[in-house]
Chains A and B, each alone.
Chain A
Amino acid sequence: QKEVEQNSGPLSVPEGAIASLNCTYSDRVSQSFFWYRQYSGKSPELIMSIYSNGDKEDGRFTAQLNKASQYVSLLIRDSQPSDSATYLCAGTRLRGGSYIPTFGRGTSLIVHP
């Protein structure tokens, strides 16, 4: 099993809808997670971080962490065409005494007018 798994998509939603992006993780991954947005040809930028079980909201974005199910999600409310991008889920693994990031493949989101 890969350490962090995401459906590559694309996920297509109409403008104004809720986009739901999902990520599962293995036992090797520590329970500290990040969502990054990456526009085509650009570098990733941090959208949300979540460290505790439950929900965390920031504007139109809500991150959810379910440790029992080893499941992380990102909800985008009132989706806009400018939200069209690839969303990378990242966890952290312990390696040689250091915490090393581990990324999923990313989910491509398309928001159509």
Chain B
Amino acid sequence: DGGITQSPKYLFRKEGQNVTLSCEQNLNHDAMYWYRQDPGQGLRLIYYSQIVNDFQKGDIAEGYSVSREKKESFPLTVTSAQKNPTAFYLCASTTTGASINQPQHFGDGTRLSIL
């Protein structure tokens, strides 16, 4: 079955450490997204990528970095510059970013906590 795989499910970060969250999709989707969700909050966009080798900052990109070297992969690095990284991180994809009528397909998420 096609879908989005996020790993790990749970991740702990020590102070000063960078950590990388994995996101892989086999839906053949062009566009991929990273969101952060805090308790009682909606989804806030961190980064998005409409095509391989191109990505754009979302609303809360500070302290995060991404790469898009392959169509199916969009890893997110939470750097030490992100002082409050504890949250639920969701990766999503859409067929294309060029159409307005594109629902998001989500992975199962990664829960990141500070040690």
Number of A interface residues at 8 Å Cβ cutoff, please give it.
Answer: 28
Contact of B42 among A51, A95, A104 (CB under 8 A): A104
Determine if A30 and B100 form an interchain contact, defined as CB atoms under 8 angstroms apart. yes
A8 CA / B42 CA spacing, docked (Å): 10
Main secondary structure of the interface of A (DSSP, over half): strand
19 A-B contacts, Cβ less than 8 Å apart? A4-B42, A6-B42, A8-B40, A42-B109, A43-B106, A43-B107, A44-B90, A46-B103, A51-B100, A90-B104, A92-B102, A95-B56, A98-B31, A98-B56, A98-B98, A99-B99, A101-B33, A101-B104, A103-B43
B residues neighboring A (CB under 8 Å): 31, 33, 35, 40-45, 48, 50, 56, 58, 90, 92, 97-104, 106-109
